[in-house]
């Protein structure tokens, strides 16, 4: 226990050395004083709290919030000194807020605990004491031999020892880790691959030495020492030998592996990212407003304290006959008395700070986030994926985006590759009906005839068929066993019995194309690769694979040909291959590559090198030496790869097309009309990227394209940037586009950030090509931290987009073919790029106006609440007498005024969703945090003060004139009926205030549902019913009965009812006049669009438009289904939705609208159903 505590505190880390030694099946050395290394257990912990630390840890986190801490201080002050209000008035709302937040966070953590327990309690089989034992996943220790069966996930990071295959290989899919859905082949060392039973495993004597745990999924350096017949055999271990926790075993019956990294030290756990807390612009504004209101509070408290002492300067007010001071009060320190009075006033006015604002905002964000997942327009039917919200804290930020940074491949495109063209030995070819046809020729050979391919063409196709990491999945268990030839087509091939799986869609497209043309990759078994060239089988021995990496941008294989020769095939980007070629049609191929890129095709260059026996011996020695090195293995491998991949013979190049996703062009155009600038950040070469940008509408044909490419020095880069800046000023072109590559970007960001930013901001579209993942993040950070502080959004689908997604204010993951890593690290996830338009233009718009009004309204109603209390002090000699009863003080924010604003913030729609999509320009109206500007904040604050003055002085004037003050503090009318006193006056002010602030919100509401009606009128009714009940009974547990029968007496007076009506109308009538005046004389574009929504309000019945398809199909989401059933609004026919679709065509030609209105974000038509 002591050691565990020391580890948790960081004093006793579990491993100090750079490497770890793992004894297979924990057979530790028997000689000497061996001290075993300590390793983590196999439990996964994603939860934040435990039963023991939940209360202190959660309280600590909550009281780090300024408002919560402030109310805690006020509560403690009320406990310590004699204050005018009960500690309950501050303590109860604080307790409510803390409790609600704790329940929410506790529930979320309970779900994490539940998921952890499910994972940690999963049954696994381990080899112990010579037998196979079933245990729980959490009980696996480092060194245990684990058996995993087909389609099971690996419970820890295992080094593969053996499989049911003779060659000791297995296939896995790592979709849950990096999102790649292809099958990857993993290998065991030859000495352990023969151990395929428990008894053989028991006899195995082996030691694994490897690096300490690190997060990189693709890096593993180690070696295994196997003892056989007293001799130690050392074998290198790399990523191909390591089976990662979370990956799944495929196409293999079972494997045995030794656990090397367990629990929170596994690579999957180390990749759990504690994402940095992103804060929205609204939250920052909220904190600023809180500080301003804190200043108002302090000012009121100081002013009241000073005026109290100024008033008490006269002796008759300092110590009146009815309130004599005690001896202790006369002798107390004036400074302590001043501080005590100041704190008392602070407590009296503290409700001007709205503590319940935080909990209401949290509830609004949490509940509101469900609408995104429920939106049928964001549901992708083909993949059965709906939009996903990973964090609800940034909902309103979707309405403030100014820059969108998007990846290209898989985000704008489908990431589905189709082979289109190739260049072989300087001649361009295209595929026609499964045959290679040179450019300018047509396919006129009869069907079924074998095409004639010359030597260069055949070698090129063989290179394409052999230089890859593609795996084959068979319907039959083994391609090498059995008599039937599965390939029985005219060319000798059929795809009925096999399917290709590849880590790269490019590789899969190329291998499939070669197969269609006649050179088919048919089998990979151990170190044997088999191809069939027009039906003739050829077997190659795979000697080495030089894996692809981002620095080299190429991959290679070294093979032994059927004739016994050694050959290297390599493929990669043209910049990574052409500089190392010494023969072949280099210049022609370079031109063809550029032509392919201009057509928007993804290009790869293919080359080869033939080794002499002496050269191969040298190559083999260098590779083995580098791969068995424990220190600096990667650097030594890079040196070996560079030595091998040179003096290449150029064979040709390929052009593969990646189709654009549906509605990409319309979506980018909609974003541009909304005032959002789109930047495309991609790793493709600039010709390909420019071509795709033009085809997707990112660049227009009329746009002036500026280039910052291939800059080699700081001075050259600076000069080019100055030229571009001058050109932008001199050219009278409306729009400019900028193309910049990764190398030039590095130079520009190094010393010329301001100049670069000046050029970028004057361009309506920017394209960055040849970008590394970290460069993407740097560009986003550069925009984020610029003086204007624009709100940025990053969207991507691959692991290489994660850094960009995490850096941006809002990160969106695409549920694409490159896996789930981007989705897991994003704030929101959608299935297609086209859904981005509705997410921003509709949901972003709604979330922003809702929460902006919520924040302003909260401050307004609290100013209305506490200002009469401040004014009352002028009439009670600053005696700190409270105007309201303590129960009213406590329940004002919790019960009487809380629900209307919560419902408003969930359902409000200023404009109909269809119009927001069709007129993207409306998005500009809410940009730059316009609804939470200082001017708007000042308006709501001054309105609160004005209404508070009307409440107080209206009640005073209307009810205080014809009364006579009695000695007991109550007021006696002429007819001797007790009517008016201190509590009656306060209750009248409070009643007027509750009605006014509720009706003020009703005036702000544009979209009325039955819920709005229920909570608006229900809140007022609840106040009256509660007050009658509270004042109509003598409550034995209350130490005073100040409110007994007060409310009944108040409502029994006709003049009180008259006063309530007059004061409410006086407050709200100017608001109504202002709204009418501005709407008719100076309407905003949003207000103009609201007139278009009016006809739709009658025809569209589905709540929140969540159950109405764009083309008029009717259907309801879960929430809408429930609400419509409650009200009986939703019709069985789709006519309502059709009518709404027709009505939003009614604007004039002069208005700016989005012409492709229903082409974005639509589902394919489905049969209309009953809600």
Residue 951 in contact with residue 864, Cβ under 8 Å? yes
What span, in angstroms and rounded, lies between the C-alpha atoms of 517 and 508? 14
Cβ neighbors of 1155 (< 8 A, separation 6 or more) are none
Cα of 874 vs its chain's centroid, Å: 53
Concerning whether 407 is annotated as a catalytic residue, the answer is yes
What span, in angstroms and rounded, lies between the C-alpha atoms of 156 and 265? 9
Instruction: Identify the CA nearest to 888 among candidates 1015, 1017, 983.
Output: 983
What span, in angstroms and rounded, lies between the C-alpha atoms of 1115 and 797? 30
What span, in angstroms and rounded, lies between the C-alpha atoms of 584 and 184? 33
Question: Which residues face 349 on adjacent strands?
Answer: none
How long a stretch of residues is the chain?
1171
Tokens at 144, concatenated? 């245990």
Tokens at 236, concatenated? 């290198």
What span, in angstroms and rounded, lies between the C-alpha atoms of 810 and 791? 8
Question: Which residues face 964 on adjacent strands?
Answer: 972
Question: Which residues face 567 on adjacent strands?
Answer: 559, 610
Cα of 289 vs its chain's centroid, Å: 27
Rg (CA), the chain: 37
What span, in angstroms and rounded, lies between the C-alpha atoms of 784 and 1120? 38
What span, in angstroms and rounded, lies between the C-alpha atoms of 724 and 721? 5
Phi (first) and psi of residue 421, to 5 degrees: -145, 165
What span, in angstroms and rounded, lies between the C-alpha atoms of 353 and 363? 19
Residue 1091 in contact with residue 1160, Cβ under 8 Å? no
Residue with tokens 């499939």: 512
Half-sphere exposure of 138 (CA within 13 A, CB side): 9
Tokens at 852, concatenated? 């902006």
What span, in angstroms and rounded, lies between the C-alpha atoms of 9 and 157? 26
Tokens at 27, concatenated? 């057979």
CA angle 1098/1109/822 to nearest 5° reads 135
Residue with tokens 């950040």: 681
Cβ neighbors of 224 (< 8 A, separation 6 or more) are 159, 189, 192, 206, 207, 208, 209, 234, 235, 237
DSSP three-state, residue 347: helix
Provide the phi-psi class of 422: left if phi over 0, else alpha when psi is between -120 and 50, else beta.
beta
Q: What is the DSSP string of 645-656?
A: S-SEEEEEEEEE
Residue 857 in contact with residue 864, Cβ under 8 Å? no
Helix (H), strand (E) at residue 502: none
What span, in angstroms and rounded, lies between the C-alpha atoms of 92 and 890? 7
Tokens at 754, concatenated? 């301001």
State the DSSP code for 1154: -
* Pairing assessment for the beta strands 519-525 and 528-533 based on DSSP bridges: antiparallel
Instruction: Identify the CA nearest to 176 among candidates 805, 821, 796.
Output: 821
Residue 543 in contact with residue 558, Cβ under 8 Å? yes
Of 144, 375, 377, 407, the active-site residue reads 407
Residue 763 in contact with residue 736, Cβ under 8 Å? yes
Residue with tokens 């295959």: 165
Catalytic center residues: 407
């Amino acid at each position: 226990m002591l050691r565990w505590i020391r580890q948790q505190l960081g004093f006793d880390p579990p491993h100090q050395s750079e490497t770890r030694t793992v004894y297979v099946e924990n057979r530790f050395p028997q000689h000497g004083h061996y001290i075993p290394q300590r390793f983590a257990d196999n439990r996964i912990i994603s939860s934040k709290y435990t039963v023991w630390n939940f209360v202190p840890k959660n309280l600590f986190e909550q009281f780090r919030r300024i408002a919560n801490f402030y109310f805690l201080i006020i509560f403690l002050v009320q406990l310590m000194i004699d204050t005018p209000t009960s500690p309950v008035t501050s303590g109860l709302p604080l307790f409510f807020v803390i409790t609600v937040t704790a329940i929410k966070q506790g529930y979320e953590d309970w779900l994490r605990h539940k998921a952890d327990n499910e994972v940690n309690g999963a049954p696994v089989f381990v080899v112990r004491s010579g037998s196979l034992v079933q245990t729980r996943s959490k009980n696996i220790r480092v060194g245990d031999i684990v058996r995993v069966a087909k389609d099971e996930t690996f419970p820890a990071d295992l080094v593969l020892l053996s499989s049911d295959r003779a060659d000791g290989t297995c296939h896995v899919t790592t979709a849950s880790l990096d999102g790649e859905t292809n099958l990857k082949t993993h290998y065991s060392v030859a000495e352990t691959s023969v151990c395929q039973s428990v008894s053989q495993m028991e006899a195995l004597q082996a030691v694994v030495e490897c690096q300490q745990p690190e997060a990189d999924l693709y890096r593993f350096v180690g070696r295994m020492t196997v003892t056989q017949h007293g001799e130690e055999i050392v074998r290198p271990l790399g990523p191909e030998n390591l089976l990662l926790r979370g990956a799944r075993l495929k196409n293999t019956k079972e494997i045995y592996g030794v656990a090397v990294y367990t629990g929170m030290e596994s690579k999957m756990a180390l990749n759990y990212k504690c994402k940095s807390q992103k804060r929205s612009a609204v939250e920052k504004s909220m904190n600023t407003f809180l500080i301003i209101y804190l200043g108002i509070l302090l000012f009121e408290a100081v002013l009241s304290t000073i005026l109290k002492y100024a008033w008490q300067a006269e002796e008759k007010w300092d110590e009146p006959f009815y309130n004599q001071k005690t001896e202790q009060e006369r002798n107390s320190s004036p400074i302590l008395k001043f501080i005590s009075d100041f704190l008392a006033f602070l407590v009296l006015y503290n409700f001007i700070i709205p503590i319940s604002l935080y909990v209401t905002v949290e509830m609004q964000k949490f509940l509101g986030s469900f609408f995104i997942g429920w939106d049928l327009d964001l549901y992708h039917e083909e993949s059965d994926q709906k939009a996903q919200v990973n964090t609800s804290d940034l909902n309103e930020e979707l309405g403030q985006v100014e820059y969108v940074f998007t990846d290209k491949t898989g985000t704008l495109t489908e990431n589905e590759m189709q082979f289109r063209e190739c260049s072989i030995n300087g001649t361009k070819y295209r595929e026609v009906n499964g045959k290679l046809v040179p450019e300018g020729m047509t396919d006129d050979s009869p069907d079924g005839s074998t095409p004639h391919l010359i030597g260069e063409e055949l070698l090129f196709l063989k290179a394409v068929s052999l230089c890859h990491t593609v795996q084959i999945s068979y319907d039959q268990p083994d391609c090498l066993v059995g008599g039937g030839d599965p390939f029985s087509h005219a060319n000798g091939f059929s795809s009925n019995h096999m399917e290709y799986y590849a880590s790269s869609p490019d590789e899969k497209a190329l291998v499939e194309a070669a197969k269609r043309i006649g050179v088919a990759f048919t089998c990979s078994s151990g170190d044997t690769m088999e191809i069939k060239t027009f039906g003739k089988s050829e077997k190659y021995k795979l000697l080495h694979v030089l894996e692809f990496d981002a620095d080299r941008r190429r991959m290679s294989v070294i093979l032994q040909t059927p004739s016994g020769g050694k050959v290297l095939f390599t493929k990669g980007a043209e910049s990574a291959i052409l500089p190392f070629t010494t023969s072949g049609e280099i210049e022609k191929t370079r031109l063809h590559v550029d032509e392919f890129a201009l057509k928007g095709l993804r290009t790869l260059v293919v080359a080869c090198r033939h080794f002499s026996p002496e050269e191969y011996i040298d190559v083999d020695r260098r590779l083995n030496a580098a791969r068995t090195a424990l220190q600096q293995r990667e650097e030594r491998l890079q040196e070996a790869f560079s030595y091998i991949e040179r003096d290449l013979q150029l064979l040709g190049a390929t052009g593969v097309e990646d189709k654009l996703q549906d509605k990409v062009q319309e979506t980018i155009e909609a974003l541009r009309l909304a005032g959002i600038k789109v930047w495309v950040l991609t790793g493709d070469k600039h010709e390909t990227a420019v071509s795709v940008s033009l085809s997707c509408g990112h660049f227009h044909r009329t746009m002036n394209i500026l280039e910052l490419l291939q800059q080699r020095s700081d001075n050259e880069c600076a000069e080019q940037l100055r030229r571009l800046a001058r050109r932008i000023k001199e050219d009278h072109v409306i729009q400019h586009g900028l193309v910049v590559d990764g190398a030039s970007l590095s130079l520009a960001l190094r010393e010329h950030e301001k100049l670069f930013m000046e050029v970028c901001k004057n361009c309506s579209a920017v394209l960055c090509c040849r970008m590394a993942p970290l460069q993407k993040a740097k560009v986003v950070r550069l925009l984020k931290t610029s003086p204007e502080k624009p709100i940025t959004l990053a969207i991507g689908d691959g692991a290489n987009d994660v850094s960009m997604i995490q850096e941006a204010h809002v990160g969106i993951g695409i549920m694409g073919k490159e896996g789930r890593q981007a989705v897991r690290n994003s704030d929101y996830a959608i299935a297609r790029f086209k859904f981005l338009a509705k997410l921003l233009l509709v949901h972003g718009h709604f979330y922003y106006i809702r929460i902006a009004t919520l924040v302003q309204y909260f401050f307004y109603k609290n100013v209305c609440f506490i200002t009469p209390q401040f004014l009352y002090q002028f009439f009670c000699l600053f005696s700190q007498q409270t105007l309201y009863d303590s129960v009213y003080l406590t329940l004002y924010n919790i019960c009487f005024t809380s629900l209307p604003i919560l419902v408003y913030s969930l359902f409000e729609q200023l404009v109909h969703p269809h119009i927001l999509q069709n007129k993207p320009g409306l998005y500009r109206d809410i940009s730059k945090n316009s609804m939470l500007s200082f001017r708007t904040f000042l308006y709501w604050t001054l309105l609160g003060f004005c209404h508070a003055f009307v409440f107080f002085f209206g009640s005073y004037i209307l009810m205080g004139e014809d009364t006579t003050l009695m000695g007991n503090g109550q007021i006696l009318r002429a007819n001797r009926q007790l009517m008016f006193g201190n509590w009656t006056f306060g209750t009248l002010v409070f009643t007027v205030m509750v009605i006014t602030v509720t009706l003020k919100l009703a005036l702000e509401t544009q979209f009325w549902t039955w819920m709005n009606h229920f909570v608006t009128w229900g809140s007022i009714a609840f106040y009256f019913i509660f007050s009658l009940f509270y004042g109509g009974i003598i409550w034995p547990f209350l130490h005073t009965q100040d409110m007994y029968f007060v409310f009944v007496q108040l409502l029994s007076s006709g003049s009180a009812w008259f006063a309530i009506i007059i004061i409410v109308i006086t407050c709200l009538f100017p608001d109504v006049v202002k709204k009418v005046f501005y709407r008719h004389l100076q309407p905003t574009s949003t207000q103009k669009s609201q007139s278009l929504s009016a006809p739709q309000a009658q025809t569209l019945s589905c709540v929140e438009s969540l159950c109405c398809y764009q083309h008029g199909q009717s259907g309801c989401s879960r929430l809408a289904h429930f609400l419509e059933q409650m009200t009986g609004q939703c019709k069985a026919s789709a006519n309502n939705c059709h009518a709404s679709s027709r009505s939003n065509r009614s604007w004039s030609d002069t208005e700016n609208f989005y012409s492709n209105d229903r082409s974005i974000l639509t589902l394919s038509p489905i049969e209309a159903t009953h809600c």
